[in-house]
A and B are shown apart, each in its own frame.
Chain A
């Protein structure tokens, strides 16, 4: 028994020598942000947009000493241990990027009332140390819908959604409203893959829609990359994107007329400002064009060919209206019924 204890101690000692309590070594001047994501920081979609937002926010706050750490591929069942590890290491803000982390965050937040947590997308108002954020992505969908409804030649456009909930549902319905605003006769094909990350299924759905005549497609979340790849196989079909990272891909450069994206930098800066001012949570931070939560850009390689001055003006008018009245312009987005399309 003694030998076993000695052996165990010998094995554990090296780890103890290198172990350090994060909280004890924490520099009080440093603001620590941790990110927990279910995919990767370079997925050209949901997770990358938050990672990019955090790094951009850090770059835009040069006066603050900010330490940033992330953990990829964290399923909700696994994320609890890493979140507690971040708490132990003295992190000030722990962002679990996805509504699937809601229960986990609410549970841990109760255990650690002095640490600030955030999760989204959600429009719920959380406890005093939990922030939520909600992209009002019907705005970006509407912009892309205007473009799709205008440039379609056969008056058939497609939409490859992941699931019909959260910001994806808002984006999809905004897209429908955008198409209908400029082309009421257009047929809009809407289908969901049931997954945020099944690239093959999204490419199959896109192929199906292309085969049924759609000549402009869109999609949201990381699964949309599969649909974009399928669109690139078509000699004539085009794409409007929900993430600027799509413009950086080969098929995006060839097919994506324009893309909008979430600018999480605005959210992160607001979170940091609120926490340093003493507010640890209890608020939902909306993301929209008015507060800089969205960015939009055309593909420079395709703009001259596909975007007329009239279309560009139409898009700008819509963005201006969102900025002027973020709550009212698309208040009816939830009324869109796909079965009537």
Chain B
């Protein structure tokens, strides 16, 4: 039984990374007051470009780790460009954020699939990045498997959580982001360029969503298909609410969701008499239940979330 539990917990960290990165990115978007439902599309583009670079370099065979790194960098840059584009639509043109986000999602998923068919063809895999056993620590019974035997990208993603917290709560830019999402009128009166801050947050959020997609194609599934993301972008958006727009709580949500996901897999594989349809639904039900029981006074949603800012119009 201990082996089963260890196995289940050891999968939580690597399998939660894509959700974690995308959620943290979405958190920056929403903290700045912009609601980006297009996360799924940006992840798809990130997954595509992330896989394309090592695939083209090695034809599906082994390549230098530098190409994988280049794949991650390209995914981040492409994601940031998508964020910039979304900013143009929602911040400058003030289009309804929900509809624009759905458009971005469709555009990203469709474009990634089309480009993949053109440049690669059918479903293809790459060697991706390997797991690293951290010397000494990985040999500690139970703990070693759970915490110290994962790929480098997973470690970096988790190390980014305190960095994200620091950026949001301890830097002047983080304060501007929070001000732009909470009270853009007041921020504007203090000389903060709300539009610029929103653009910057969207670019950071896009870059993280691109990285999340690239993580799936380079580090986790090590392949690409146009159904690779399969709704994870929307789950990432839900996790931002789940985590109350706070990096640590979002991390907790991503881990809890992934734990529920791996738990249901174990339940099925162990032959426990339980309808698999319900088991598959379990993580989603969990999110809904937790969201439903979240006390209102704990919710710290940015008060101007989803509202376009026009400094010429006083509301």
Contact surface of A with B, Cβ cutoff 8 Å: 39-40, 42-44, 48, 73, 158, 164, 188-195, 197-201, 203-205, 207-209, 211-213, 222, 225-226, 229, 232-233, 249-251, 338-341
Contacts of A251 in B (CB 8 A): 125
20 contacts between A and B (CB under 8 A): A190-B269, A190-B271, A193-B280, A198-B227, A199-B221, A200-B232, A203-B220, A204-B265, A208-B11, A208-B266, A209-B265, A212-B3, A222-B225, A229-B221, A232-B125, A249-B124, A338-B271, A339-B271, A339-B272, A339-B273
Contact between A225 and B230, CB atoms less than 8 A apart:
no
In the bound complex, do residue A199 and residue B280 qualify as a contact, i.e. CB atoms below 8 Å apart? no
- Shortest CB distance B218–A (Å): 12
Which of A39, A164, A208, A229 is packed against the most chain B CB atoms within 10 Å?
A208
Report yes or no: B223 in contact with A158, Cβ–Cβ below 8 A: no
Would you call B277 an interface residue if the criterion is a C-beta within 8 Å of the partner chain's C-beta atoms?
Answer: yes
Partner of A209, one of B10, B123, B225, B269: B269
A192 and B281 alpha carbons, distance in the complex (Å): 12
Given contacts A198-B230, A211-B10, A338-B271, contact A204 B262 (CB under 8 A): yes
Indicate whether B82 reaches chain A with its CB closer than 8 angstroms. no
Is the Cβ of B223 less than 8 Å from the Cβ of A199? yes
Instruction: Tell me which of B15, B60, B216, B268 contacts A190 (CB under 8 A).
Output: B268
Closest B residue to A42 by CB, please name it. Answer: B122
From B223, B261, B276, B277, A204 is in contact (CB under 8 Å) with B261
0/1 interface trace, chain B 92-124, chain A, CB 8 Å (1 if under): 000000000000000000000100010001111
Which residues of chain B in 210-251 are interfacial with respect to chain A, using CB atoms and an 8 Å cutoff? Answer: 216, 220-223, 225, 227-228, 230, 232
By the criterion CB–CB under 8 Å, are B123 and A191 in contact? no
User: Is the CB of B183 closer than 8 A to any CB of chain A?
Assistant: no
Q: Which residues of B contact A229 (CB under 8 A)?
A: 125, 221-223
Bound form: Cα–Cα A207–B219 in Å: 13
A200 touches B280 (CB 8 A): no
- Does the CB pair B121–A191 fall under 8 Å? no
B contact residues, total (Cβ < 8 Å)? 41
Q: Are B122 and A44 in contact (CB under 8 A)?
A: yes
In the complex, which residues of chain A have a beta carbon less than 8 angstroms from the beta carbon of B221? 199-200, 203, 226, 229
In the complex with contacts A195-B230, A198-B230, A205-B265, A341-B271 CB distance below 8 A: yes
Asked whether, in the complex, the Cβ of B271 is within 8 Å of the Cβ of A340, the reply is yes
Contacts of A204 in B (CB 8 A): 11, 15, 261-262, 265
Task: Tell me, rounded to whole Å, the shortest Cβ–Cβ distance linking B59 to chain A.
Answer: 10
B230:A200 contact, CB within 8 angstroms: yes
Task: Confirm or deny: B303 has a beta carbon within 8 angstroms of a beta carbon on chain A.
Answer: no
Q: Would you call A201 and B268 a contact (CB within 8 A)?
A: no
Q: Is the CB of A42 within 8 A of B268?
A: no
Q: Does B78 contact A (CB under 8 A)?
A: no
B223 touching A197 by the CB < 8 A rule? no
**Cβ of A212 and Cβ of B7 under 8 Å apart?**
yes
Apart from A200-B230, A338-B271, A341-B271: 16 A-B pairs, beta carbons within 8 A: A40-B117, A42-B122, A42-B123, A43-B122, A43-B123, A43-B225, A164-B276, A190-B268, A198-B227, A199-B225, A205-B268, A208-B11, A208-B265, A209-B269, A226-B221, A232-B125
> What residue of chain B has the Cβ atom nearest to residue A161's Cβ?
B276
In the complex formed, the residue of A with least CB distance to B229 is A200
How far does the alpha carbon of A226 sit from the alpha carbon of B227 in the complex, in Å? 11
Closest residue on chain B to residue A198 by CB atoms: B230
Known contacts A229-B125, A340-B271: A199-B227 contact under CB 8 Å: yes
* CB closest residue in chain B, given A249: B125
Question: Is B8 part of the binding interface, using a Cβ–Cβ cutoff of 8 Å?
Answer: yes
B186 at the A interface (CB under 8 A)? no
Given A200-B221, A203-B220, does the pair A225, B227 have CB atoms closer than 8 Å? no
B61 in the interface, Cβ–Cβ < 8 Å?
yes
Residue of B with least CB distance to A207: B11
B216, A200: Cβ atoms closer than 8 Å: yes
Cβ-defined contact, A222 with B123, below 8 A: yes
B11 near A197 (CB under 8 angstroms)? no
Q: Is the C-beta of B163 less than 8 angstroms from some C-beta in chain A?
A: no
In whole angstroms, how far apart are the Cα atoms of A43 and B222 in the complex? 16
State A131–B290 Cα separation when bound (angstroms): 47
Top-4 shortest CB links A-B:
A42-B122, A211-B7, A339-B273, A194-B280
By beta carbon, the residue of chain B nearest A192 is: B276
In Å, the complex CA distance between A276 and B273 comes to: 49
Residue in contact with B262 in the complex, picked from A192, A208, A225, CB distance below 8 Å: A208
Residues of A within 8 A of B15 (CB): 204
Decide: B269 and A225 in contact? CB cutoff 8 A: no
Residues in A neighbouring B225, C-beta threshold 8 A: 43, 197, 199, 222, 225
